[in-house]
Amino acid sequence: MCFLIRVRKFTKIFVLCIFLLSLSGCWNARELNALNVVIGMGLDSAENSNDIEVTAQVVNLSKSGSKKSKSEKGGGGMDIVNLTDSGPDIFPIIRGYTHEVNRKLYFPHNQIIVFGKDFASKGVRDSLDFFLRDHETRLTVNVLVAKGKAKSIFEAEPEYLSLPAADIEQILEMQNATSETATLRLFDFMSCLTSKTCSAVAPLIEVLEEGGKKHYKIAGGAVFKEDKAVGELDKTQTRGMLWVTGKIKSGLLRVNAKDQNATLEIISAKSKVEPKINEDGTIVFKIKIAEKSSLGSQEGSENFATPENLHLLEIAGEEKIQEEIQSAVDKAMELDADIFHFSQSVQSKYPRKWENIKKDWDQLFKTIQIEYDIDVKINKTGNIAKPNYPEEE
C-alpha cells in the first residue's frame, strides 16, 4: 500500500514538472533580435514588366551584429533599411526577402502602405489580399498614394525625421490642423472596395527638394474608382469633400468682406446629407453644414469684431464653404467617382428604390443636384477687440 501511494505521489510530481516545461514560453516566441520590424510598405509597378516592386522600410533593432544596409541613416540610434524587391506577387516577394536578410519581416507595427501612382492606376485590389488575410497585418494602417514612385518616398530620408514611415503617420495626424488632406485607413479602403459605388480618397504624398535637402509634403487626395486611382484632388477640393463627409477637425477659411481679408479658424463642423428622389428620377442632395469658427486674424482698419461685421464675415464664410464643396462636386462629377458616399445615404433612405437604380449609379451621379444649407457662426474674436490701427478722428 505504501508503495502505491509513493508511486502516485511520484507521478503527480512528474506530471507537474511536465506542466512546468510548458510555462517556459510559447512556441512562436520571437525575440527582439530575431525581428525585422516593418514600419512602412511601398508598392510600385516594376519598370519593364507587369511585376510589382515592393519596398519595405525596416527598423533594425540590434545595432551591433549583421546589418544589411543599402542606405544607412541613423537618427536616434535606429537603423532604417529599405528592402526592395520585385516579382509577380506580393507574398512571394515578402517571403523572398529571407534570401537576402537574416530575419523574417514582422508586420504588426506597420504604419503605412504607400502606392506608387502608376501602380495605383492599374488596380490594387488583388495585391491587397495579402494584407487582409495575413494574421500579422492590421487593418488600421494608413494608405497613401505617392505622386511618383513609392520607393522614392522611402528612399528620401529627411534628416529631421528619425523613423520616416512612422513620422509620415504622425504628419498624417497633423493634417487635422488644416483639414486639406484626406485620410484613409486600410479598413475604410476595404469597406469601399466591397461596394460597387463607393470611391475612396487616399492622401497624396510627394518628396520635395530644397537646397539639397529633401522633405515630405502631404496634401490633397488621390481618388480611387473601384480599385484604380483615376484622379487627384487639390487642397481646396479635398476640403470640400471633407466638409460633406463631416471630417473637418480644424482649419482656416480665408474670407473677404468690405474689401478686407480676414482669416477664420474652424473650431468644429457638422454635416448632414439628405437625399431626395424626385418623381422624374433625378436626385437632389441637401447638404447641411453647421460650423463654428473664431476670428483668427484680419487685415485693414475696419474692425471685424462687431456684430454687423461678424455677420458679414459669416456670410462670406458660407460662400467660401459653398465654393469649396462645389469645386469638390465638380471634380467628382468629372471623374465620375462618388467620393462623398452619396450612394450610401440614398441606400439607407430609399432601400427599395436603390435596388432599381444602383446599376445606373454612374450615369445618375453625373446628373445629381445639390442644395446647400450652410450656417457659419463666429463666436470668439481673440485677445484684441479692435485691430492695431490708430483711432479714426
Q: Among the candidate windows 21-29, 33-41, 244-252, 281-289, which touches another protein by CB under 8 A?
A: 21-29
Does residue number 268 form part of the binding site for another protein (CB under 8 A)?
A: no
Q: Which of 73, 138, 214, 286 binds another protein (CB under 8 A)?
A: 138
Q: Which of 11, 71, 140, 306 binds another protein (CB under 8 A)?
A: 140
For residues 196 and 254, which CB has a smaller minimum distance to another protein in the complex?
196
| Smallest separation, CB 104 to another protein (Å) | 11
Does residue number 356 form part of the binding site for another protein (CB under 8 A)?
A: no
Per-residue cell: 81: 533599411
For residue 98, the 8-state DSSP code is G
Q: Which of 49, 191, 367, 369 binds another protein (CB under 8 A)?
A: 191
| CA triple 378-381-387, angle to 5 deg | 130
Burial of 338 (0-12, 13-18, 19+ CB in 10 A): buried
Q: Which of 13, 16, 22, 76 binds another protein (CB under 8 A)?
A: 22
Per-residue cell: 223: 481618388
| Helix ranges restricted to H, 260-385 | 307-335, 342-349, 351-357, 361-366
Max Cα–Cα distance, the chain, nearest Å = 117
| Gyration radius of the chain over CA positions | 28
C-alpha distances (whole Å) from 116 to each of 54, 120, 174, 175, 355 are: 10, 6, 22, 21, 36
Q: Which of 121, 195, 236, 294 binds another protein (CB under 8 A)?
A: 195
Q: Which of 1, 16, 20, 28 binds another protein (CB under 8 A)?
A: 28
Query: Beta strand 260-277 with 283-298: parallel, antiparallel or unpaired?
Result: antiparallel
Distance, in Å, from the CA atom of 58 to the CA atom of 80, rounded to the nearest integer, reads 6
Per-residue cell: 76: 536616434
For residues 64 and 194, which CB has a smaller minimum distance to another protein in the complex?
194
| Smallest separation, CB 351 to another protein (Å) | 5
> Could you tell me if 141 and 185 are in contact, meaning their C-beta atoms sit under 8 angstroms apart?
yes
Does residue number 139 form part of the binding site for another protein (CB under 8 A)?
A: yes
Q: Among the candidate windows 33-41, 119-127, 137-145, 246-254, which touches another protein by CB under 8 A?
A: 137-145
For residues 37 and 378, which CB has a smaller minimum distance to another protein in the complex?
37
Looking at the DSSP bridge assignments, the partners of residue 181 are 220
Does residue number 347 form part of the binding site for another protein (CB under 8 A)?
A: yes
| Smallest separation, CB 128 to another protein (Å) | 12
**Contact residues: another protein, CB under 8 A:** 19, 22, 26-28, 135, 138-140, 173, 187, 190-191, 194-195, 344, 347-348, 351, 354-355
